Chain A
Amino acid sequence: MNGPNDRQDEPQAAAPGSPGMTRRGFIRKSAVAAAGAAAVAAALSPLRNISPDHIPTLEQLLQKHYKEMTPEEMKAVLERISREVEKRYAVRPQVADIKPMTGVEFVYALNISRCIGCRRCVHACVKENNQSRSPEIQYIRVLKMEKGSIDVETSDHHYDPPTVPEHESYYMPVQCHQCANPPCVKVCPVEATWQEPDGITVIDYDWCIGCRYCEAACPYWARRFNFAEPGLTAEELNPNMAYLSNRPRAVGVMEKCTYCLHRTRVGRMPACVEACPTGSRKFGNVLDPKSEIAYILRHKRVFVLKQEVGTLPRFFYYFDERGSRYHEPLDPAVSGGDA
C-alpha cells in the first residue's frame, strides 16, 4: 500500500471547504483507491473456484419451507431435485414426498443380548441413504461396552478384532432415537427440523442454515453435518429417494437417521433391520398391538439410554438371555439335587 508514505507531506485534516484537490492529489487518491480495490478483488479470488452447484439459483432461494409448500410447489421441487441428481450422477432417481401413514408411530428396539457388533447395520445404512463416502458419514455408531458399565465413556468405537463378539463386552449401536421430547427440534432457530406425526424427526435439507446447534444439543450424538461436499459416486447412489430422507444432500446442511422413511412409510423395514444377521433389531408400529415391537415392549426388559436427560427416546434396548455370550466359558454344571 503506498498510502502511508504519501500522506506525510500533505497538510493534516485537509479542510473540506477548501477548493477542490490538486491534480496530484487526485491521482494519488485514485491510485490508493485502485490498489485497495485490487486487494479486495484478490481477497475475493477464491470464489472463482466455486462450483456452479454451490451458487443457489433463484428457484432455490425462493423455495419455501416444507410445511408451507403446496403440492404443486412440491412437485416442481421434486422435479428439480430429479434433474439435479440426473445431471450429476447420470441416474434417473425416483424422488417422492411420502407422507406419514395415519395411526402409525414407529418405535425401534435393539436386543443387546444378541448384538454381536458386526457393524453390518452401519454399512447397510450408508448404502441405503446416500451418505457421503468421503468424508465419511455414518448415522449408526456401534459402541463396544465393557461388561459391568452402561457409561458410554467406557465404550470403544474403533474396535477391530478378528472376530466379534469379543470377550467381556457387549455392543450397543446408537443412532437417532427419534425422541418424543427432542432437544434438537427445540433449539433449531429456523425450524428446519421437526417431528412428524409418525414419530420420525426429519430435516428439510433445503431450509437448514447449518448453524449446528442441533448437533450440539443431541445427547446421543446422532446428527451429522456436511462439512465438505458429499463424496458419492453414481454406482453408490440409491435412486429410491424421498424429499425428507435420503435424497443427496448439499454441503453445509445437517442430516441424520430417519428410520429410512422412504421405505418404512410404504411398509418396508429400515435397511439396518434387514441387514442384521442376528435379528437384534426390531422395528414396527407400536400402536399395533400385534406388532413385534409391541410384543417386545410388553414382555422384555426394555430401557433407554440417558433417560435422565428427559428426551423420551423411541428407541429401546433390551436383553433377554445369555445370547451372544455363548462363546465365553461356562462354569460347568455342579452335580447336586436329583442327580
Chain B
Amino acid sequence: MRRYFTFLWQCLRMSFVGDWRYYAWMSVLTVFALLGLHAWCRQLVGGLATTGMTDQVSWGVYIANFTYLVGLAAAAAMLVIPVYIYRNMHLHDVVIFGELLAVAVIIMCLLFVTVDLGRPDRSLHLIQRFNFPGSMLTWDVIALNGYLLLNLHICGYLIYCAYCERKPSRAFYVPFVFIAIVWAVSIHTVTAFLYVGLGGRPFWNSAIIAPRFLASAFAAGPAFIILTLQIVRRYTSYRVGDEALLTLRRIVQVAALINLFLLGCELFTEFYSDSAHTASSRYLYLGLHGRNALVPWIWTAIAFNTVATLLLVLPSSRGLKVLNVACVLAIVGIWIEKGMGLIVPAFIPTPLGEIVEYVPTINEVLVSLGIWAFGLLLYTVFVRMSVPVLSGELTYRRLYGPSRQDNNRSQAETAA
C-alpha cells in the first residue's frame, strides 16, 4: 500500500522536473488553462450568453470539440487492436501512450460537456434521475465514464507493475483491454447516435454519421499519436521504433481513405436528391440565401483531408517529414469537418426555416483553448510520468531499496 502512495508521489514529482523546453511548454499550457478557467468563471457569472450560442444555434464550439475529442479518445485505444488481436508487436511498446492519450482526452470531453451545461451545479441530478435507456445522453455518460475508468485501470495497472518491477498478471488487464476495444467503438457510436436519433434535424438524421465518425476518428487519433510518439522519441530515452510509426501510418491511411469515400457518399446523397431536407448541407457547402460563413471552412477541411489522404497514399509519406505534414493536415481537417462541419450546420436553418449564423465569442474560444491546454498538460504529465517508469529508470527499488515483498520473493526463490 505504501508503495502505491510513493508511486503517486513520485509521479507527481516527476511532472515538475525537466529541461527548459519542458518548462516552457508547461508554462504556456498553464497560462492558457488559467485563461480558460478565468473565461469559464466569467461564463458562470454571466450565463451562457457570454458564448455565441443562441436559441437558433444552441450547440457550438463546446459540443464541436467534445465530438472531435470523443473520436480521438476512441481511436487512441485502436492502437490496441493490432497488438492484441493481430499480434502486431511493432506497436506493443507504444500502446500505453494511446491509452494515456485516451485518459487525458476523455477528461477533456467531460470538461467540455461541463462547461456547456447551463446549470453545472445541478450535475448530481444525473445520478438522481437517470433517463436510461431513453436518452442517448445517459448512454454517453455511462460510456465515457466507463471508458475513463477502463483506461485508468489498464494504464495505472501496467505502469504500477513496471514501477514495482513486477510482471503484470494477464488476468488483470487483458480482459479489460478487450473490453476497451469494444468500448472504444461504442463511445463514438453512442456519441454519433446522440445526433442521429433526432428526427427533427434532417442533416443529422442519417445512418452515415456513425460510420463517418469512426472513420474520421481512426484517421485523426493515430495521426495525433504519430506526432506525440515522435516527440517522445526525441525528448526521452524511450525507444520508439519506425515500424510502430509505419503501422500507425497504415491505419491513418486506410481510415482517411474511408473517410473521403464516406464524404463522397454524403455529398452525392444530399446534392443529387436535392430535396428540402438538404437545406443544411446547402448552407454548409454552398451558402444559403446569401449566408455563407461556413463555406470557406468546410472547403478548407475537404482540401486538407484530400491532400492528407493523397500524401498518405504516396510512398513518400514513409518519410517522417511528409508523414508529419499529412498528419497535421488530417488532424486539422477532421477537426473542422467534425466540429464546424457537423454540429453547427444542423442548426442552420432552424426547423422553422430561420437562418441565424453562429460565431463563437472570445470567451468561448478561451474556454475551449483552456480545456485543450489542460488536456495537453495532463497528457504531457502522463507521458512524463510513465516513460521513466516503463523504461525501468524509476522504480520503487531504485528509490527506496528492495521492499519487504521483494525480499520475501527472492527468499522464496533461493529456497526453491
Any A CB within 8 A of the CB of B353: yes
* Contact yes or no, B137 A187, CB < 8 A: yes
Q: What is the distance, in angstroms, from A228's C-beta to the closest C-beta of chain B? A: 4
* Contact yes or no, B400 A17, CB < 8 A: yes
* Contact yes or no, B141 A227, CB < 8 A: no
Q: What is the distance, in angstroms, from B278's C-beta to the closest C-beta of chain A? A: 10
* Contact yes or no, A229 B47, CB < 8 A: yes
- Known A7-B23, A43-B38; contact A65-B17, beta-carbon cutoff 8 A: no
A residues 39-56 touching B (CB-CB < 8 Å): 39-40, 42-47, 49-51, 54, 56
A residues 60-94 touching B (CB-CB < 8 Å): 61, 65
* Contact yes or no, B125 A46, CB < 8 A: no
Q: Whole-angstrom distance between the alpha carbons of A149 and B46 in the complex?
A: 41
B residues 23-79 touching A (CB-CB < 8 Å): 23-24, 27, 30, 34-35, 37-38, 41-42, 44-49, 51, 53-56, 58-59
Any B CB within 8 A of the CB of A323: no
* Contact yes or no, A190 B131, CB < 8 A: yes
B residues 90-149 touching A (CB-CB < 8 Å): 113, 116-123, 125-126, 128-131, 134-138, 141
Q: What is the distance, in angstroms, from A175's C-beta to the closest C-beta of chain B? A: 11
Q: Whole-angstrom distance between the alpha carbons of A320 and B339 in the complex?
A: 46
Any B CB within 8 A of the CB of A13: yes
Q: Whole-angstrom distance between the alpha carbons of A211 and B354 in the complex?
A: 22
User: Within 8 Å CB of A15, what residues of B?
Assistant: 399
* Contact yes or no, A50 B44, CB < 8 A: yes
Any B CB within 8 A of the CB of A253: yes
User: Within 8 Å CB of B122, what residues of A?
Assistant: 56, 190, 207-210
A residues 1-33 touching B (CB-CB < 8 Å): 1, 3-4, 7-8, 12-17
Q: What is the distance, in angstroms, from B174's C-beta to the closest C-beta of chain A? A: 33
Any B CB within 8 A of the CB of A218: yes
Q: Whole-angstrom distance between the alpha carbons of A154 and B355 in the complex?
A: 11
Instruction: Find the B residue at minimum CB distance from A187.
Output: B135
* Contact yes or no, A47 B44, CB < 8 A: yes
Instruction: Give the interface size bracket for B toward A.
Output: 35 or more
Any B CB within 8 A of the CB of A191: yes
Q: What is the distance, in angstroms, from B336's C-beta to the closest C-beta of chain A? A: 21
Q: Whole-angstrom distance between the alpha carbons of A4 and B29 in the complex?
A: 13
* Contact yes or no, A252 B23, CB < 8 A: no
Q: What is the distance, in angstroms, from A167's C-beta to the closest C-beta of chain B? A: 20
Any B CB within 8 A of the CB of A119: no
Q: What is the distance, in angstroms, from B60's C-beta to the closest C-beta of chain A? A: 10
Q: What is the distance, in angstroms, from A41's C-beta to the closest C-beta of chain B? A: 10
- Partner among B35, B38, B351, B352 whose Cβ is within 8 Å of the Cβ of A157: B352
Q: What is the distance, in angstroms, from A219's C-beta to the closest C-beta of chain B? A: 3
* Contact yes or no, A191 B131, CB < 8 A: yes
User: Within 8 Å CB of A209, what residues of B?
Assistant: 117-120, 122-123, 125-126
* Contact yes or no, A151 B34, CB < 8 A: no
* Contact yes or no, B135 A216, CB < 8 A: no
User: Within 8 Å CB of B208, what residues of A?
Assistant: none
Q: Whole-angstrom distance between the alpha carbons of A225 and B118 in the complex?
A: 9
* Contact yes or no, B49 A228, CB < 8 A: yes
Instruction: Give the interface size bracket for A toward B.
Output: 35 or more
* Contact yes or no, B276 A54, CB < 8 A: no
Any A CB within 8 A of the CB of B201: yes
- Partner among A190, A210, A220 whose Cβ is within 8 Å of the Cβ of B126: A190
* Contact yes or no, B129 A190, CB < 8 A: yes
Q: Whole-angstrom distance between the alpha carbons of A319 and B195 in the complex?
A: 35
Q: What is the distance, in angstroms, from B364's C-beta to the closest C-beta of chain A? A: 12
Instruction: Find the A residue at minimum CB distance from B132.
Output: A189
Q: What is the distance, in angstroms, from A16's C-beta to the closest C-beta of chain B? A: 6
A residues 165-212 touching B (CB-CB < 8 Å): 174, 183, 186-192, 207-212
User: Within 8 Å CB of A54, what residues of B?
Assistant: 44-45
User: Within 8 Å CB of A4, what residues of B?
Assistant: 20, 23-24, 27
- Known A17-B400, A43-B34, A153-B276; contact A211-B353, beta-carbon cutoff 8 A: no
* Contact yes or no, B135 A213, CB < 8 A: yes
Any A CB within 8 A of the CB of B200: yes
- Partner among B35, B113, B128 whose Cβ is within 8 Å of the Cβ of A65: B128
* Contact yes or no, B34 A39, CB < 8 A: yes
Q: Whole-angstrom distance between the alpha carbons of A293 and B19 in the complex?
A: 77
Instruction: Find the B residue at minimum CB distance from A51.
Output: B45
Q: What is the distance, in angstroms, from A306's C-beta to the closest C-beta of chain B? A: 7
B residues with CB within 8 A of A: 10, 13-14, 17, 19-20, 23-24, 27, 30, 34-35, 37-38, 41-42, 44-49, 51, 53-56, 58-59, 113, 116-123, 125-126, 128-131, 134-138, 141, 194, 197-201, 276, 279, 346-347, 349-354, 399-400
Q: A4-B20, A157-B352, A251-B118 are in contact. List 8 more A-B contacts (CB 8 A).
A: A7-B23, A8-B20, A190-B128, A207-B122, A213-B135, A216-B198, A228-B47, A228-B49
